């Protein structure tokens, strides 16, 4: 039997699905806390499978849990069927396997059926992370999940004994195709239902809303949305505010698609996807049993998110080199002379491998305005040295 699971990685992670099957929790402590890591604005937790602890992406926007295909092969897990994964620009074929045992902190679960998809290579190229899997709906729906972005901590509660008594505000959370959906308004007028997606590094308007409100005409910083099924042009735009659960988040950055077509963003049932450029300001509770999301003012509330100050978008290549995907117009990258397809050789005379890879490069490109780097690139048979001076882009 062929099933379909939809998603968009990097800008978003697995956004929706019509597939769900889960095992049973063997043991769950009430209020089981797990130290998490927030990397490139996404939340990772340590998960142990077959005695091997790896980082997994926490993603309520994934309609099913996912195990990296390479890790599944390493564990000797046998593919038992076909699944179709929908991405930004289309679909790819994948399989599904049964994971015999899984442990997250003190939580132990048996016989988890998961989609097997090659996520680690793509994430390694574009974020510098190599998740062994994604904890999606089939895991998260069994708990009340608390995510504290500022403290980098995730806590799982038994839903039958969970009673919230904190200072936060609860709003209705519908679950459609295994994905949470909540109400949000942007700038007081772009209001409606948004998919809530912890796997989405950024918030994003969907195609229909972008067209309806003529959002592509707004100025911002152009990017390529890279995910399962291909790439699409988008633009990061700063809006005045986002109103959510009675809170007002000031100056959110939201991605606007510049190309129509199929894929996850073609959904017309919601205005967009609510990702971590907004969610990071809160401590969030997801309570599937009672159809509610609870928002508390988090340690990041009101704190400016440090963003890229170069306009340079880079991806990894086989062999360890790095390629320029995009030098956004009217940014330091374009002024320095970068072009898509350039191969970065070194920064200030130091190779990217010595610097620490693409994750370290992204940190460097978020340095203070005025920071200058001398970047050596290869363009075809030509070697160039480009001077990049960082500046605020928004």
Note whether 330 and 282 are same-domain residues.
no
pTM of the predicted model, to two decimals? 0.88
Lowest mean pLDDT among 135-149, 209-223, 255-269, 379-393: 255-269
Q: Would 164 be classed as within a structural domain?
A: no
CA dist., res. 389 & res. 332, Å (int): 6
DSSP conformational letter for 368: -
Question: Residue with structure tokens 């990041």?
Answer: 300
pLDDT at 154: 97
Lowest mean pLDDT among 95-104, 227-236, 295-304, 374-383: 227-236
Q: How confident is the model at residue 263 (pLDDT cuts 50, 70, 90)?
A: low
Q: Would 12 be classed as within a structural domain?
A: yes
CA dist., res. 65 & res. 306, Å (int): 30
State the average pLDDT over residues 96-113: 90
pLDDT digits (tens, 9 = 90+) for 32-63: 789 999 999 999 999 999 899 999 999 999 98
Higher pLDDT, 305 or 5: 305
State the average pLDDT over residues 266-287: 94
pLDDT at 357: 84
Note whether 109 and 25 are same-domain residues.
yes
Report CA torsion sign: 31, 177, 191, 212: positive
Note whether 130 and 179 are same-domain residues.
no
Q: What's the CATH number where 235 sits? A: 2.40.70.10
Q: What percent of the chain has pLDDT over 90?
A: 70
pLDDT at residue 270 tops 80: yes
Burial class (CB in 10 A: 0-12, 13-18, 19+), 143: buried
- Please list the residues that pair with 181 across neighbouring strands: 174, 195
Note whether 244 and 125 are same-domain residues.
no
pLDDT at 173: 98
Note whether 236 and 337 are same-domain residues.
no
Among candidates 328, 350, 338, which has minimal Cα distance to 388? 338
Q: How confident is the model at residue 20 (pLDDT cuts 50, 70, 90)?
A: very low
Higher pLDDT, 171 or 359: 171
How far CA 122 is from CA of 46, 141, 164, 300, 379, in Å, comes to 20, 26, 38, 29, 24
pLDDT at 7: 41
pLDDT at residue 4 tops 90: no
Q: What's the CATH number where 365 sits? A: 2.30.42.10
pLDDT at residue 110 tops 80: yes
Q: What percent of the chain has pLDDT over 70?
A: 87
CA dist., res. 13 & res. 115, Å (int): 14
Question: Residue with structure tokens 């039997």?
Answer: 1
Note whether 211 and 257 are same-domain residues.
yes
pLDDT at residue 381 tops 50: yes
Q: Would 95 be classed as within a structural domain?
A: yes
Q: How confident is the model at residue 27 (pLDDT cuts 50, 70, 90)?
A: very low
State the average pLDDT over residues 111-131: 88
CA dist., res. 37 & res. 149, Å (int): 9
> Contact 241/219 with Cβ under 8 angstroms?
no
CA dist., res. 323 & res. 327, Å (int): 11
> Contact 267/226 with Cβ under 8 angstroms?
no
Lowest mean pLDDT among 18-27, 64-73, 167-176, 200-209: 18-27
Among candidates 18, 16, 20, 43, which has minimal Cα distance to 199? 43
pLDDT at 228: 57
Range of the domain at 30: 2-157
pLDDT at 87: 54
Note whether 12 and 125 are same-domain residues.
yes
Q: How confident is the model at residue 385 (pLDDT cuts 50, 70, 90)?
A: very high
pLDDT digits (tens, 9 = 90+) for 313-338: 999 887 778 999 999 999 999 999 99
DSSP-derived pairing of the beta strands 203-205 and 253-257: parallel
How far CA 151 is from CA of 34, 147, 148, 291, in Å, comes to 11, 9, 6, 25
pLDDT at residue 141 tops 50: yes
pLDDT at 8: 37
Q: State both tokens at 176.
A: 């459609």
Strand order in the sheet with 382-389: 312-316, 322-327, 343-347, 372-379, 382-389
Note whether 281 and 333 are same-domain residues.
no
pLDDT at 135: 96
- Of 157, 184, 216, the one marking the end of a domain is 157
- Of 267, 297, 327, the one marking the end of a domain is 297
Note whether 213 and 146 are same-domain residues.
no
Domain count, the chain: 3
pLDDT at 17: 34
| 68 SS3 class | strand
- Please list the residues that pair with 179 across neighbouring strands: 176
Q: What is the mean pLDDT of the chain?
A: 88
pLDDT at residue 394 tops 50: yes
pLDDT at residue 241 tops 60: yes
> Contact 295/245 with Cβ under 8 angstroms?
yes
Q: State both tokens at 321.
A: 């080199």
Higher pLDDT, 109 or 182: 182
Note whether 341 and 293 are same-domain residues.
no
pLDDT at residue 380 tops 70: yes
Dihedral over alpha carbons 201, 202, 203, 206 (to 10 degrees): -100
pLDDT at 22: 44
DSSP-derived pairing of the beta strands 169-172 and 52-58: unpaired
pLDDT at 262: 62
- Of 157, 191, 214, the one marking the end of a domain is 157
State the average pLDDT over residues 207-230: 86
Q: Would 302 be classed as within a structural domain?
A: no
> Contact 22/113 with Cβ under 8 angstroms?
yes
Note whether 26 and 143 are same-domain residues.
yes
Note whether 183 and 291 are same-domain residues.
yes
Q: How many CB atoms lie within 10 A of CB 325?
A: 17
How far CA 197 is from CA of 122, 226, 352, 361, in Å, comes to 19, 17, 31, 26
Q: Would 307 be classed as within a structural domain?
A: no
Q: How many CB atoms lie within 10 A of CB 350?
A: 11
């Amino acid at each position: 039997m062929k099933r379909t699971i939809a998603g968009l990685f990097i800008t978003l992670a697995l956004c929706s699905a019509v597939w769900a099957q889960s095992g049973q929790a063997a043991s769950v402590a009430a209020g089981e806390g797990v130290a998490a890591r927030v990397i490139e604005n996404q939340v990772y937790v340590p998960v142990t499978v077959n005695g091997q602890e790896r980082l997994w992406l926490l993603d309520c926007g994934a309609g099913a849990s996912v195990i990296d295909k390479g890790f599944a092969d390493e564990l000797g897990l046998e593919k038992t069927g076909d699944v179709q994964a929908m991405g930004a620009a289309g679909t790819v074929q994948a399989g599904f396997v049964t994971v015999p045992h899984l442990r997250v902190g003190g939580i132990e679960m048996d016989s988890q059926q998961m989609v097997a998809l090659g996520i680690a290579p793509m994430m390694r190229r574009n974020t510098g992370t190599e998740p062994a899997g994604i904890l999606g709906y089939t895991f998260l729906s069994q708990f009340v999940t608390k995510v504290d972005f500022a403290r980098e901590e995730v806590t799982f509660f038994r839903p039958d004994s969970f009673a919230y008594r904190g200072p936060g505000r609860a709003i209705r959370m519908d679950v459609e195709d295994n994905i949470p959906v909540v109400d949000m308004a942007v700038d007081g007028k772009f209001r409606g239902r948004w998919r809530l997606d912890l796997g989405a590094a950024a918030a994003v308007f969907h195609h229909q809303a972008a067209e309806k409100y003529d959002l592509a005409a707004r100025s911002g910083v152009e990017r390529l949305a890279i995910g399962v099924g291909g790439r699409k042009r988008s633009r990061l735009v700063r809006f005045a505010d986002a109103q959510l659960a009675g809170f007002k988040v000031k100056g959110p950055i939201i991605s606007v698609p510049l190309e129509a077509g199929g894929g996850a963003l073609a959904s017309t049932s919601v205005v967009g996807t609510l990702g971590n450029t907004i969610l990071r300001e809160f401590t969030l509770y997801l309570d599937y049993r009672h159809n509610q999301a609870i928002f508390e003012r988090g340690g990041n509330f009101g704190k400016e998110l440090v963003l890229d100050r170069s306009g340079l978008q880079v991806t990894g290549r086989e062999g360890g080199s790095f390629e320029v995907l995009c030098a956004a117009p009217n940014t330091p990258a374009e002024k320095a002379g970068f072009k898509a397809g350039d191969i970065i050789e070194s920064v200030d005379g130091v190779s990217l491998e010595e610097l620490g890879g693409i994750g370290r490069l992204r940190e460097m490109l978020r340095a203070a305005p005025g920071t200058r780097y001398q970047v050596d690139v290869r363009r075809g048979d030509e070697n160039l040295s480009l001077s990049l001076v960082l500046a605020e882009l928004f």
